[in-house]
Amino acid sequence: MNSDKPTAHDSRRELAPVAMAPHAPQSPVRAARHDMRILTLPGWQGSPATHWQSRWERLCGHRRVEQHDWLQPRRGDWMARLEEVLLAQPSPALLVAHSLGCQLVAAWAAHSRHTARVHAALLVAPPDTERPDMPPQLHTWRPIVRTRLPFRATVVASSDDPYCTTERAAEMAQAWGALLVPAGPLGHLNADSGLGDWPQGLALLHDLQHD
């Protein structure tokens, strides 16, 4: 049920746990986009200082898309805010989303006429907002938007995420046309997962950042 072993038909690859994978995955050398903005999209209630998104912001200078209300996340309001930030500058953006931020990317991309502003997206631990046990604050995020994304995307999913099964994460990745990367048993891939600066995630981001 929770097997992360890819088959010949899977468009996914393995991501070893942090303690076991100190080196970045091998990939062809490609040119980086130096004019690219990297925007972090936290989930419900935002990301604390110990979260890898916050660490990346301090380490790499990534910019957070600040929402007006982190506690009552209305999907339309969050989409409008993301659109506002993307249109504020002409340079392309790479989106780094966690949890509800992944659903934000999918919803925004299905409705915006400015998706060309996004180069690619890293979508980490997308929650299954259609589950009956989701908090009432997240009910406006139903149904999940399953439109294929018009840009490259990588979904990273944990095998023991309390908010989404591996099967549902795989379904979302397939619907979005994204590469699925199993992360092993790392919970919700958040501050409680003990990822630190999460070098494996930075390696995936580096791969998306290059053409």
CATH number of 123's domain: 3.40.50.1820
Which pLDDT score, from 0 to 100, does residue 210 have? 85
| pLDDT mean over 190-211 | 93
User: pTM to 2 decimals?
Assistant: 0.84
Residue range 105-150, pLDDT digits in tens: 999 999 999 999 999 999 999 999 999 999 999 999 999 999 999 9
Residue 169 lies in a domain: yes
What torsion, rounded to 10 degrees, do the Cα atoms 181, 140, 70, 43 define? 0
Omega before 143 cis (within 30°)? yes
Residue 112 lies in a domain: yes
Structurally, the chain folds into a number of domains equal to 1
Residue 125 lies in a domain: yes
Residue 61 lies in a domain: yes
Residue 6 lies in a domain: no
| pLDDT mean over 159-181 | 98
Query: Does the pLDDT at position 14 exceed 70?
Result: no
Q: Check residue 160 and report its DSSP letter.
A: T
> Rounded to 5 degrees, what angle do the CA atoms 143, 147, 150 make?
145
Which pLDDT score, from 0 to 100, does residue 34 have? 61
Distance CA 21, CA 14 (A): 11
Confidence tier at 61 by pLDDT (50, 70, 90): very high
Residue-range definition of the domain harbouring residue 132: 35-209
Among the residues of the chain, which ranges form H helices? 52-60, 75-88, 100-111, 166-176, 199-209
Residue 87 lies in a domain: yes
Residue 184 lies in a domain: yes
Distance CA 148, CA 159 (A): 23
